[in-house]
Structure 1
Amino acid sequence: MDDRLFRNAMGKFATGVTVISTEHNGDIHGMTANAFMSISLNPKLVLISIGEKAKMLEKIQQSKKYAVNILSHDQQVLSMNFAGQLEKPVDVQFEQLGGLPVIKDALAQISCQVVNEVQAGDHVLFIGEVTDINMTEQDPLLFFSGKYHQLAQSEQATASS
C-alpha cells in the first residue's frame, strides 16, 4: 500500500490539535500533535504518539512527564509554531500546571506522569497518568484532510447570541 494513500485516509479522521510540552534540565520543549486520546477513567490515563525521529521523543523519555495542551480555535499560529511551519518562531506564553509548562489560554491543559512506554512501528506510545487538569470555555481548533478548521456556528447559536 502506498504511504500517501494511507496518510490521506488517516487525514479523513477529524481531530483536535494539541501541543505536547515538557520540561527537561530547565528547558521547555513542545511539539504539535494530533495523535492523542483518553484511554482509561480509572485510573485516568491518556496516550500520545511520538515519532522516532522527533526531538521530543528523547525529552519525554528523560523527563518521564508531559502535558497535553488542547488548542482553541484562535491558537492556530501556536500549532504552526510547534510544527516548525513558521519562518520566525513566535513568543509563547507558558504557565505551570502540575509542575509542567502549559500553554496559556489553551482550551484544556492536562499534566501527566508517564506510566508506560510502548514501541509501535516508527512511533513510541506514551501512556500518562493524569495528575492535573485546567480548562477554559472556547471552541477547539480542528484538523481535517491536512488543513485547519473551526467549528461552524449554527444558525440557531448565532441567532441567540
Structure 2
Amino acid sequence: MRIDPRSLRTCLGHFATGITVVTCDAEGAPHGATVNAFTAVSLEPPLVLVSVDRNTRICKYLDDRPFTVNVLRDTQDDAALHFAGKPMAEEPRWERPEEELAPQLAGSLATIACMPWRSYDGGDHVLYLGEVATFEFNGGEPLVFYCGKFRRLGTAFSEVPWLESGDYPGLSWFPSS
C-alpha cells in the first residue's frame, strides 16, 4: 500500500512538539533552521538528535560540525518563522558560548550546544546525533507546534500521574526475570 506523504504529514502533525532552531557555523557566519524533529537520545553519554531535510542548506553545514539546539520560548514565533524562511524585520541576536562550539540565539528558553557524534541516513532526512557539550535553561514557557500551527501551552496538571515509566526495570515493583 502506498502512503500519501501529505496525509501522513497531517497525521504526524497531531503529535505536539516543541520548536527549536538548530544553529551552526556556515563558512564563518551563523546559520540556523527551524526544526521540530528534536529529541533526547541518551544521558550516558549525553546525546540528542535532530532530523533535518537533506535538501536544506543547513544539512551541508552540519556534517561533522558542532551545532546548537535552541529551544524557543512562546514569544519567539518571529524567530521560528525567520529560520523557516520568512525573514524578521530585525536580524536575530547571536551569542557564542565558546570558540569551538556553534553560535546560539540570544533569549532562547534553553540551549544545548553539541559536538558531532554520528549522522545516519533517514530517507529524505539526515539524522544528526550530537554529544552535549554545554547546556543552559531559563524560566518561561515553550513555543509549541501542533496541527501546522504555533501554540502556547495550557494550564499544567497539578499532579504528575507517575514518577517513572512502567516499562523501566529499575522500579522496585518491576518483576525480575
The alignment's TM-score, normalised by the length of structure 2, stands at 0.82
- The residue number in structure 1 matching 2:83 is 82
**Given that residues 81 and 89 in structure 1 are in contact (C-alpha distance below 8 angstroms), is that contact kept between their aligned partners in structure 2?**
no
**SS where residue 116 of structure 1 aligns?**
strand
Q: CA deviation at 1:4?
A: 1.3
Q: Distance in 2 between matches of 1:50 and 1:152?
A: 28
Percent identity over the alignment?
A: 33
Query: How many aligned positions are there?
Result: 154
**Unmatched 5+ residue regions in structure 1?**
157-161
**CA offsets, 1:77-114, max 9 Å, x none?**
0000000034x553100112243211111000010011
Whether the 8 Å contact between 1:15 and 1:142 is mirrored in structure 2 is yes
Give the CA deviation at 1:138. Answer: 0.4
Partner of 1:125: 127
Deviation of the 1:25 alpha carbon? 2.7
Structure 1 length-normalised TM: 0.90
My pick for the range that moved more, 91-100 or 5-14, is 91-100
Paired position in structure 2 for 1:91: 91
Provide the secondary structure at the position in 2 that maps to 1:100.
Answer: coil
Provide the C-alpha distance between the structure 1 equivalents of 2:19 and 2:77, rounded to a whole number of angstroms: 9
Confirm or deny that 1:67 pairs with 2:72: no
8 Å CA contact 1:97–1:133 kept in 2: the answer is: no
Listed as ranges, the matches of 1:110-121 within 5 Å are 110-121=112-123
Larger radius of gyration: 2
Cα distance change on mapping 1:8 and 1:65 into 2, 3 Å: same
Question: Any unmatched runs of 5+ in structure 2?
Answer: 159-177
Q: Deviations over 1:104-133 (max 9, x none)?
A: 110000100111010111111001000000
Q: Is residue 149 of structure 2 the alignment partner of residue 147 of structure 1? A: yes
Bigger share in strand? 1
User: In structure 1, what is the Cα distance between the partners aligned to 2:124 and 2:12?
Assistant: 16
Between structures 1 and 2, the one with greater helix share:
1
